[in-house]
Amino acid sequence: MRLLSGAVGALGEAWAELRTHKLRVALSLIGIAVAVGALTAVVALGEYQRQAMVEQSDRYGGRVATLSISTHSSDGSPVDWTEADRRFVRVAERYGFSHTARVVPDGVTTLPVQLSDGVKDVPARLMDPAYPVMHRLTLLEGRWFVPQDIEMLAPPLVINEPLWDMLGRVPLEQHPTLRMGGDFAGVYPIVGVTPREGMWDTRPRVEMLLEHYRDRLGAVPDGVQVAWEAWVPGELASDIGPVLAMDLRSQLPAGLEVSVSRTDWAAQPGFEQSFLMMQLVTGGIAGIVLLLGGLSLVNIQLVAMRQRIREIGVRRSFGASGARIFASVMLESVVATAAAGVIGIALAVAVLRSPWVAQSLFAGLQDVPAFPFGAAVLGLVASVAVGALAGLIPALVALRVRVIDAIRF
């Protein structure tokens, strides 16, 4: 109880001292507030950058955890994709996968598109409606495919921005169409536009539902490799993969080989390590800034302590113990830097969550994370730690002050 009352008394003295010298405290803590705000912002930006990296990886490899299943005949004979598809659907239903999709990647097949200079073979990517969800595919305009599109008599298309430019960038509100020739002769409504993948992306591309592609040709042509994908819980992916491969082999006709592999970022070696290294570098820079702010605070505290020798000597003459003096001086620094830390964290949150910063910072993110609680905690802990270190030397100096020093000073 006595120890608690002593701590409360020391804290009260520290707070009174801070209130007495408001200007000195404010000037000394500006650097700490800025440094803590910078540290908090850097850690938070690291989390946002990680989310951006994850979403970018998801667009190529799928969300955690995505299993890619492919099949081929051991003797090179054509695969009956209709029968293989039926077997996969049965297995997927038995496992209860939430999302499954078939895909024929870009570059495997083309579609005969009518352009201003004639019919051209344009690269196509064929997919099921769940594929854009599993891969976080983004749109510039319009919408992606939905399951109801499979029943439409006029198959909808999604095109990329370079092809949209070739067609005159007709607004989707005007219901633009794309004309094709050959086996795909007809007029197709355009329901979405994907953005360029970079400033050098000038190649046109068409996205089409695999079901419509197969309906137009009657079957999947030889040489067109279809892959199945399944979105499964990350903690079960390593166990499901081998079992799924064995199950599919038992379901498919003899002579067909099945391979199952993970394609999402979590299965790629080095992803977390590269992110951690980036965060360590940026956090180290912010830590150096915080350390420099702490050193400047030590200098100011030492100068202030020299001016307070008479005050401390008088307190010692009235019976203040060395521990009480030490705690009082130490807590002055800790309380002040903690307050500066809170201000710095609030500034970091206000800046990163401001509309003009958020619009550029979160552009392209589908799942914007909340402000990382860990970043705020780290900022507060760092400010308290700096306050303790900055107050240690002045507190040790205060311990050496004697009553006679108050008379001499």
Could you please report the per-residue DSSP string of 193-218? EEPPSSTT-----EEEEHHHHHHHHS
CA distance 276 to 244: 33
One-letter amino acid identity for 262? Answer: R
296 and 401 in a common domain: yes
Q: Which of 267, 300, 326 is the last residue of a domain?
A: 267
Q: Which of 267, 293, 314 is the last residue of a domain?
A: 267
In contact, 187 and 177? CB cutoff 8 Å: yes
323 and 283 in a common domain: yes
Rounded (to 5) percent helix, strand, coil in the chain: 60, 15, 25
Residue tagged 């024929």 (tokens): 104
367 and 320 in a common domain: yes
Mean pLDDT within 150-172? 95
281 and 258 in a common domain: no
99 and 48 in a common domain: no
Q: Which of 267, 294, 320 is the last residue of a domain?
A: 267
Phi (first) and psi of residue 316, to 5 degrees:
-65, -35
150 and 73 in a common domain: yes
277 and 320 in a common domain: yes
323 and 205 in a common domain: no
Name 198's Cβ contacts closer than 8 Å, sequence gap at least 6.
none
In contact, 134 and 59? CB cutoff 8 Å: no
Distances (CA, A) of 44 to 118, 277, 361, 384: 52, 15, 12, 19
User: For 311-360, what is each residue's pLDDT tens digit?
Assistant: 777 777 777 777 777 877 788 788 888 888 999 999 999 999 888 888 77
Name 361's Cβ contacts closer than 8 Å, sequence gap at least 6.
45, 48, 352
Instruction: Please state at what angle helix 81-95 crosses helix 237-251, rounded to 10 degrees.
Output: 140
User: For 77-110, what is each residue's pLDDT tens digit?
Assistant: 778 888 888 888 888 888 889 899 999 999 899 9
184 and 205 in a common domain: yes
Per-residue model confidence (pLDDT) at position 368: 84
User: Could you give the count of Cα atoms lying within 13 Å of 402 in the half-sphere of its Cβ?
Assistant: 3
Domain that holds residue 364: 2-59+270-408
260 and 112 in a common domain: yes
358 and 240 in a common domain: no
User: For 43-66, what is each residue's pLDDT tens digit?
Assistant: 888 888 888 888 988 998 999 899
403 and 307 in a common domain: yes
Comparing 365 with 16, the larger pLDDT belongs to 365
Number of domains in the chain: 2
CA distance 404 to 408: 6
